[in-house]
Structure 1
Amino acid sequence: MSDPSTVPALPLAVTARWQARFRAPRVSLPDWAEEAPHRNVYSSDVSGVVEQYAWDRSTDEHRPVTDRPNGTLISTLSPDGGTIWWFADTDGDEFGVWMTQPFPGGEDTVAVPEVGAAYPAGLEVGRSLVAIGRSTDDGSELWLAPHGGTPRVIYRHADPASVDALTRDDELLVVSHSEHGDPRYPALRVLRTAGTTEDSPAVVTEKWDGEGLGLHALEFAPLPGDRRLLVGHERRGREELLIWDVEAGTETELVLDLPGDVTAGWYPDGTALLVGHDHAARTELYRYDLATGVLEKLDTPPGVVRGATARPDGTVELAWSNSELPPVIRRADGPVVLSVADEDPPAAYPVEDRWVPGPGGDIHALLVRPAGRGGPAGPFATAFLVHGGPEAADDDSYRARRAAYVDAGYAVVHVNYRGSTGYGSAWRDALTGRPGLTELEDIGAVHDALVAEGVVDPRRTLLTGGSWGGFLTLLGLGTQPERWTAGIAEVPVADYLAAYEDEMEGLRAYDRALFGGSPAEVRDVYVRSSPITYADAVAAPVLVVAGANDPRCPIRQIDNYLGRLEELGKEHEVYRFDAGHGSLVIEETIRQVEVALDFALRHVRP
């Protein structure tokens, strides 16, 4: 492999531009304490590594909470703002314990030592207790730890479960579970925290919509004694809202005249909801008045909102970007709330929408033409950047990786294949029983349509993605060898039988639901969807990027695939890094993009 420190085929100015987008410091939407809203925590990569920061708005003092070689991804605040909770894993392996630190600073302490290390499965910090969810290879455990009391297990099951919501007075706890066997469609159970134990749960009520219909507890109303729970449901084939009074046993569906999926959070006075509406790769925000039923659109520019919150003073803060303009934390009425950058990173490139007929219905794709080429001319060398998930979607947000490929001279195509979210429940669930091959049919249909349109040069096509997108890349190289000139698979599933053996239990449960059983039950389905099955048909050179500590796409199954390519004499390269399912270290991310661009430019010339 050539030296990844630079990409010799690119002018230095181009390299500097795409790297500047990655190095520009970013921040997450601040999380604030319910009883002390001036006390906030947020994530930022201002140090070059994603870490957690405390922000006192009354003094505008910012300070780092964590400082670890491979970064820290999660934190939250106690309701009084006195304590920061953050999750400590080991080098990105996602397995660890919750730590606490005083908001003003001080010593880190293991929050509840009795709970032990695990994968996180929800955390609710109350005023008198904390509820902690944990997942291991043995299944799920949910704990209650009263402040100053003895922690106890209140729930244990072999299938996934999580801690979801706690009333403001700490009396009721909502947990989600998959005792019915499918974690993709969770059920909800409300427990009374006083006296509940694993052997004698104090169940208040339960709700499950049945097979193929998930329920998601969003949050309780933010008022003392209020038992209204905001819930996401999909009874009409898309994500919608209802309010469930868990003590009265009543529910009210909120039927909003919006075409896409919706989610929401409470305004702090409990009289209205802040509604997020996702449709066709873009986000809108609304205020919904519960007394009048009036839905008022907030004046946010076209683009994507990664998170939004209503503050006690009634203002709305949000994390926003679009494909051209970088992320910003701003108020809905315009002013910037929080920034850690001295200057904005370079602008990126607008996306064009395409709707392409496919075997399961119209497929939404996003297209970016090469920088500086102008007009509708083509065909272009094209990089198909495939999203992970699969329950995710590509959208009109600022993406440094997308812009790097465009800077290098490629057209870029994103495909929101069957399995993607934001296009209804049936679209999301269409890959059940045939994962991988279903999505690739849609990617192939978009490929063919853009070739026919004269945008894509069929002799110069790159297939690339990370996680599930990496899985689709390797599977596509083996099942559609005629389409692809080269492939770059980052942290992929490569040998599904071995991946199932080594991955975290929560993902094994997800796979059982997706494939229709375990490999012992439906081995042929796993084999049919496994990239290693088709290694002998791979005709294009392939680069694999792998994390040594990855719990989601473990390293052994990647090594199995690489070994098979070696046996077959297939052209391949590998880049390994010492972290988990991706890296929180910005320079490491840049190195990975350098390696990918170097490989792409050698095999698919713009």
Structure 2
Amino acid sequence: MSDVQPAHDTETTPGTTPGTPPGTADLPDWEKRFRAPRVSLPDWAEDAPDRSLFVSNATGTYELYAWDRTTGEQRQATDRDNGTTDGLLTPDGRWIWWFDDTDGDEFGVWKRQPFEGGEDTPAVPGLAASYPAGLAIARDGSAIVVGRSTDEDGSTVHVVRGDGDPVEIYRHRESAGVGDLSHDGALIAVEHTEHGDAMHSAIRVVDLDGRALAELDDTKGGTEELGLSVLGFAPVAGDTRLLVGHQRRGRWEPMVWDVASGVETDLALDLPGDVSAEWYPDGSALLIAHSFEARSDLWRLDLATRALERIDTPPGSVSGATARPDGTVEYLWSSAAEPPQVRTTAGGVVLDPPGLKCPGSVPVEDAWVEGPGGRIHALVQKPAGEGPFPTVFEIHGGPTWHDSDAFAAGPAAWVDHGYAVVRVNYRGSTGYGRDWTDALKHRVGLIELEDIAAVRAWAVSSGLADPAKLVLAGGSWGGYLTLLGLGTQPGDWAVGLAAVPVADYVTAYHDEMEALKAMDRTLLGGTPEEVPERFAASSPLSYVDDVRAPVYISAGVNDPRCPIRQVENYVDRLASRGAVHEVYRYDAGHGSLVVDERIKQVRLEIDFASRHLR
């Protein structure tokens, strides 16, 4: 493996300013935002905290990097054509585990290499390829717990002890995965949806032989199903406390569950919005991650005194945080205007990649719009000048996700080209309570589009958006909503840009990975054979003959989430009636980890919109 290299040489040459890599000075800002080296929040080994692992695009492709904090050495650990982002360190810091799929199809096996570098070898010999569903490694290396998912087997959990073979201890047709392994390596927390609702998990704690020891299931005994999530076992020897996320008060909050005694400790934090948490390394406190109305911040909760202390972070979004053994907190922060940085409460920036510096963008503004299901939150970025502007409605994926006041190179590129950008946290989005997230069931896609239509009407009436130059765009679930919106709201949009979309819902269901089939059964109430009318009502293919706007579609040929065959079915229908459309197919999965490829796709989208909005 080669040492980590900056994305560009930083030596000063004529025509550049100090610190500007040669060949980049004349690049437009929108392209610089993609090319500038970025780093993820570093993960660190529990028993070797000076050894860390992070993701960076320094070579032009997102890959894993090992970082020895003692020596300062950084080393590129993976090097694959389509990039690598799924990896972790073993607790002792000796090994890097990384997931090896085929060209972005998310189906593969775990491999490992020594932290200092060396040969990649199969991490779990004898375990066939699958989709990953969680991984946990005992601190003393005595046990490895691997979650897997395949179309044939459903969800399985395997345990490897020492040099032994993998032993299956759990199997179910519905979605399940490994949540965590206790400090002593004796208890496994499994998140499962055996009750059939893929949006609301239950938790079962088992031993290494698969024997059930404790169960926490909020889906039983009530008319409303509530979800749980595993946040982690206490990092203390002999401690059987499990940190759990719950929705008992209509939003995500943490609690502490002692799986040995069964005692549940309700933390009841007085913070609006969603709240998550992780342990401080000594188990005495929790690092609280608080998200409210598209912003987030951090707090420290002392478990003995229940004192809640705010950790100073700038306004914007914290997309990851970790408490270090010395009590400091490292966090990945950004805002719509300012690029991401890995900061520390000790002061300063933890990792500052060399090379091209990322230009900022314009701040985001909040819009609150009354909609058919309640008040809708939208985020707006505007170019210089007076409106109305050509406007891109950039619709987020998920659907269980949300847009926030965080840096995003895609929307910033549109602003640089004179477009306003509107991002809508429609019903189905997270961050606004459980009822808002769960509201889209059975009328999938149509409910989200009602909210998007309400924000569209506001954008036009407020003078922000030019009604003749409205672009509906998005990727993944956002791409799905784009195609569905072009067919169900044909007079509202001048151009559609759909990346890796669901286009033919029935074919997508039959071709997609097993975990997403479970999610679709939850959202729509059954399979295409059981509820054909719901699949038809929610499928863009049902409305393709009503599409009037020019359509641009990009799709990965190895995509397991929005498979290529269902996209081709939709494109064939467009072509059969002579509809204006363009299709770009690329050799990757559900998006690309290659910077040049991402820039190419954004350039094609902007060019398509410009040509058809002139």
Under TM normalisation by the shorter chain, which class is it? over 0.9
Q: Does residue 156 of structure 2 align to residue 141 of structure 1?
A: yes
Separation (CA, whole Å) in 2 of partners of 1:398 and 1:187: 34
How many angstroms does 1:343 deviate by?
Answer: 4.4
Paired AA for residue 293 in structure 1: R
How many angstroms does 1:604 deviate by?
Answer: 2.3
Tell me which residue corresponds to 2:444: 435
CA contact (8 A) 2:474 2:499 kept: yes
Paired AA for residue 207 in structure 2: R
Tell me which residue corresponds to 2:67: 55
CA contact (8 A) 2:331 2:343 kept: yes
Q: 1:240 aligns with which of 253, 258, 268?
A: 253
Unaligned 5+ residue runs, structure 1?
A: 1-11
Q: Does residue 347 of structure 2 align to residue 334 of structure 1?
A: yes
Separation (CA, whole Å) in 1 of partners of 2:552 and 2:373: 31
How many angstroms does 1:149 deviate by?
Answer: 2.1
Q: 1:553 aligns with which of 562, 578, 596?
A: 562
CA contact (8 A) 1:101 1:107 kept: yes
Q: Does residue 192 of structure 2 align to residue 177 of structure 1?
A: yes
SS for the counterpart of 1:590 is helix
Separation (CA, whole Å) in 1 of partners of 2:429 and 2:198: 17
Q: 2:550 aligns with which of 523, 527, 541?
A: 541
SS for the counterpart of 1:357 is strand
Paired AA for residue 269 in structure 1: D
Paired AA for residue 423 in structure 2: H
Q: 2:201 aligns with which of 186, 191, 202?
A: 186
CA gap 1:571/1:495 in 2 versus in 1, 3 angstroms: same
Tell me which residue corresponds to 1:122: 134
SS for the counterpart of 2:478 is helix
How many angstroms does 1:150 deviate by?
Answer: 2.6
Once the two structures are superposed, residues 37-93 of structure 1 have per-residue CA deviations (whole angstroms, 9 ceiling, x without a partner) of 001111111010010010000001110110000001111011111111100001000
Tell me which residue corresponds to 2:15: none
Separation (CA, whole Å) in 2 of partners of 1:158 and 1:369: 47
CA contact (8 A) 1:326 1:344 kept: no
How many angstroms does 1:332 deviate by?
Answer: 2.8
Paired AA for residue 163 in structure 2: G
Tell me which residue corresponds to 1:265: 278
Tell me which residue corresponds to 2:507: 498
SS for the counterpart of 1:553 is coil
Tell me which residue corresponds to 2:329: 316
Separation (CA, whole Å) in 2 of partners of 1:15 and 1:474: 32
Paired AA for residue 425 in structure 2: N
Tell me which residue corresponds to 2:87: 75
Q: Does residue 36 of structure 2 align to residue 24 of structure 1?
A: yes
Percent identity (aligned):
58
Paired AA for residue 289 in structure 2: G
Paired AA for residue 154 in structure 1: I
CA contact (8 A) 1:227 1:245 kept: yes
Tell me which residue corresponds to 2:404: 395
CA contact (8 A) 1:462 1:604 kept: no
Q: Does residue 261 of structure 2 align to residue 252 of structure 1?
A: no
CA contact (8 A) 1:26 1:341 kept: no
Which segment is superposed worse, 296-305 or 210-219?
210-219
Paired AA for residue 282 in structure 1: R
Separation (CA, whole Å) in 2 of partners of 1:14 and 1:553: 37
Structural mapping, 1:146-157, within 5 Å? 146-157=161-172
Q: Does residue 297 of structure 2 align to residue 284 of structure 1?
A: yes
Q: 1:577 aligns with which of 579, 586, 610?
A: 586
Paired AA for residue 159 in structure 2: L
Q: 1:597 aligns with which of 577, 586, 606?
A: 606
How many angstroms does 1:333 deviate by?
Answer: 4.5
CA contact (8 A) 2:126 2:165 kept: no
Q: Does residue 497 of structure 2 align to residue 488 of structure 1?
A: yes
SS for the counterpart of 1:412 is strand
- Structure 1 consecutive aligned stretches of length 4 or more whose deviation exceeds 4 Å: 12-15
Once the two structures are superposed, residues 523-580 of structure 1 have per-residue CA deviations (whole angstroms, 9 ceiling, x without a partner) of 1100000001001110100000010000000000000000000112111001111000
Separation (CA, whole Å) in 1 of partners of 2:309 and 2:577: 61
CA contact (8 A) 2:56 2:65 kept: yes
Separation (CA, whole Å) in 1 of partners of 2:96 and 2:454: 48
Q: 2:467 aligns with which of 448, 458, 461?
A: 458
Once the two structures are superposed, residues 183-209 of structure 1 have per-residue CA deviations (whole angstroms, 9 ceiling, x without a partner) of 21111110112xx1xxxx321110100
TM-score, length of structure 1 as denominator length: 0.95
Number of matched pairs: 584
Unaligned 5+ residue runs, structure 2?
A: 1-23
CA contact (8 A) 1:14 1:408 kept: no
Paired AA for residue 290 in structure 2: H
Separation (CA, whole Å) in 2 of partners of 1:397 and 1:442: 22
Tell me which residue corresponds to 1:447: 456
Once the two structures are superposed, residues 140-192 of structure 1 have per-residue CA deviations (whole angstroms, 9 ceiling, x without a partner) of 11000112223200001111110111111101111011111112111111011
SS for the counterpart of 1:392 is coil
C-alpha RMSD of matched pairs (Å): 1.1
